[in-house]
Amino acid sequence: MLSANQVASLSAIIITKNEARDLPACLASLSFCDEIVVVDSGSTDATVTIAEAAGCRVLIRSEWAGFGVQKQRALDAATSDWVLSIDADERIPPALATEIRAALATADGPAGYRVNRLNTFLDKPLRHGGWYPDRHLRLARRDVARFTPDLVHEKLVVDGAVGELSTEMPHLSYVDFDEVLDKQRRYALSGAAQRQKSGRKGGVGRAALRAVWLFFRLYVIKRGFLDGRAGFLAAAANAQEMFWRYAATGWKP
């Protein structure tokens, strides 16, 4: 615990693979941090060069054990009092940076803080359809923080109270259809592997029912239609990922 006259330090932690397009803007938004730790898993583009040129501490871990394990590696490498977990396609606007620094300066405050992401789909912000609000624990005291070891949809957890930050964090989640299809494939296969590991069942019939219900829930019940064409495509993309996740679970030709 810091004494009253000490200033808390902050490490940003990022895991990367072929993030040369998004990483420069992400790093530029982290100039208020004391340290940036990048754990790369075998990028073949300029990701590592960009990170090193920006003064980041870069660790190369080519083997891939899932998002949770990789982010824990980044957390373990951080040296500051607090950690800010961020993805390359996310940005910290100045107002949020100010709010983060104010939170770190608060004596006897929470052990962690959730941040509300503003997701975009094909460059359109989504405020319905289950995409908003989208609160995630991203800022935490390093000594009480850890990541769950999930292959995908990992979570940062802390031992202690959790507060809320009010400024939104832009998340440029899907900028074109290539990215939509690529992420669908990766998330669906990782999700299927995770389901199979935990002994849960899949199957084409179960996959179809899950996908149809998810689309109806996101587009109709959660009012994704209010986001226009982007809302329809986002609901369809989520439903398709759900279908392949369940269909691939335990698949045998």
Query: What DSSP character marks residue 251?
Result: -
Q: Are strands 162-164 and 35-40 parallel, antiparallel or unpaired?
A: unpaired
Encode burial over 192-202: b for 16+ CB neighbours within 10 A, e otherwise: bbbbeeeeeeb
- Which contiguous run of DSSP H or E holds residue 36? strand 35-40
**Does residue 82 contact residue 9 with C-beta atoms inside 8 Å?**
yes
Q: How many C-alpha atoms does 150 have within 13 Å on its Cβ side?
A: 13
User: Residue 253's pLDDT band (boundaries 50, 70, 90)?
Assistant: low
**Residue 139 β-bridge partners:** 84, 113
Asked if omega into 133 is within 30° of 0 (cis), the reply is: yes
Q: What pLDDT is stored for residue 5 in this prediction?
A: 58
pLDDT at 2: 55
Segment (H or E) for 162? strand 162-164
Taking only the tens place, the pLDDT of each residue in 15-60 is: 999 999 999 999 999 999 999 999 999 999 999 999 999 999 999 9
The verdict on pTM exceeding 0.85 is: yes
Name the strand (E) or helix (H) holding 179: helix 177-197
Going by DSSP bridges, is the β-strand pair 35-40/57-60 parallel, antiparallel, or unpaired?
parallel
